[in-house]
Each structure stands twice: as structure tokens, then as C-alpha cells.
Amino acid sequence: MSLRPRSGEQVPPLTAQIARASNPGGTAAMWVRDRLDGLWRDEDFADWYPRDGRPGLSPAQLATVCVL
């Protein structure tokens, strides 16, 4: 597997608007995203992946999921 960095992906504005409208108090996932977004970047893990091969999963997203 190789790493194709995808850091900086944002939640689409309409998705964020609908999520906030349907959950005014927020959810655990929204709380984590709001506070931990940007804590890890795919580029931080680039040395762990070979340069060629099938694209791997985003390590920054995997690190966030591990915190959950």
C-alpha cells in the first residue's frame, strides 16, 4: 500500500449545516471532529508507507477512529 495524502478534507458545508440543524446539541462524533480535527495529518505518517502500490487508508482518519 502507498499513501496518497488527503489531509485537509473538509465536511461539505451543506452536510455540516444539516448535521447541526438535526443535532443542535451536537453528537459525540461531532464533538471529536470539532476538537481533534487537524491533530494528525496524513503527511505525518508518510514515512510508514512505501511510495508505490495500492493506495492505503488515511492514517489521520484511522488515528482519530482509534481515539473514539
The answer as to whether 20 is a domain residue is no
φ, ψ of residue 25 to 5 degrees: the values are: -85, -5
Question: Cα dihedral sign for 14, 17, 19, 22?
Answer: negative
pLDDT for position 37: 75
Please name the residue that has the C-alpha cell 488527503: 6
The answer as to whether 53 is a domain residue is yes
Domain span at 58: 1-6+26-68
- Residue 25 identity (one-letter amino acid): G
The answer as to whether 58 is a domain residue is yes
Give the global pTM: 0.49
Round to whole Å and give the CA distance between 40 and 49.
Answer: 16
The answer as to whether 68 is a domain residue is yes
Percent of the chain at pLDDT above 90?
18
Q: How many residues does the chain have?
A: 68
The total domain count for the chain is 1
pLDDT for position 1: 53
| pLDDT-derived band at 19, boundaries 50, 70, 90 | very high
φ, ψ of residue 26 to 5 degrees: the values are: 80, 175
User: Tell me: the pLDDT tens digits for 20-50?
Assistant: 999 999 999 888 888 877 777 777 777 777 7
